[in-house]
Amino acid sequence: MGESRKSIKLEYEITGNDFTKAGEASSNVKKILTQLGIKSKIIRRVAIATYEVEMNVVIHSIGGDITVTIDTNKIQIKAVDRGPGIENIDLAMKEGFSTAPNSVRELGFGAGMGLPNMKRCSDEFNITSSKESGTEVLMNININ
């Protein structure tokens, strides 16, 4: 991306428990990054991180928003959901830990890899959560 390019902001509203549209935001982000000529290894990391956070919003909340900001040197993914919050973030970050109901696991989701995969794909990762305000995940992926 040229130095003079302004940042691009992509915004998606995610509906809780709507598995028919799950994955659309991450697929759209991947397509746009490809059109912008971003390196494939960066696109892969962004696509995985966006997909994982998108699925967590679908599975664990009543809905939320994902904003992807593409700058000259980084891509920021911010997801904010509307509850119910994560009781124990340290436990939720452990590979294989999941609070997904059996109905979600039967669909092939909820294996407990979402948060660890998000962190693994990010150069910077931050998560905050409370019962009152839901969960916010902020991920930065460097382009260069």
pLDDT digits (tens, 9 = 90+) for 86-100: 999 999 999 999 988
What is the distance between the alpha carbons of residues 33 and 40, in angstroms, rounded to a whole number? Answer: 9
Mention every residue, 6+ apart, whose C-beta is less than 8 A from residue 85: 129, 130, 131, 132, 133, 134, 135
What is the distance between the alpha carbons of residues 8 and 10, in angstroms, rounded to a whole number? Answer: 7
What domains can be seen in the chain, in order of their start residue? 8-142 (3.30.565.10)
Q: Place 2 in a pLDDT band, splitting at 50, 70 and 90.
A: very low
**Phi then psi dihedrals of residue 113, to 5 deg:** -110, -5
pLDDT at 112 over 90: no
pLDDT at 131 over 90: no
What is the distance between the alpha carbons of residues 84 and 134, in angstroms, rounded to a whole number? Answer: 5
What is the distance between the alpha carbons of residues 44 and 18, in angstroms, rounded to a whole number? Answer: 24
Amino acid at 134: G
Q: Place 5 in a pLDDT band, splitting at 50, 70 and 90.
A: low
What is the CB-side half-sphere exposure of residue 120 using CA atoms within 13 A?
A: 12
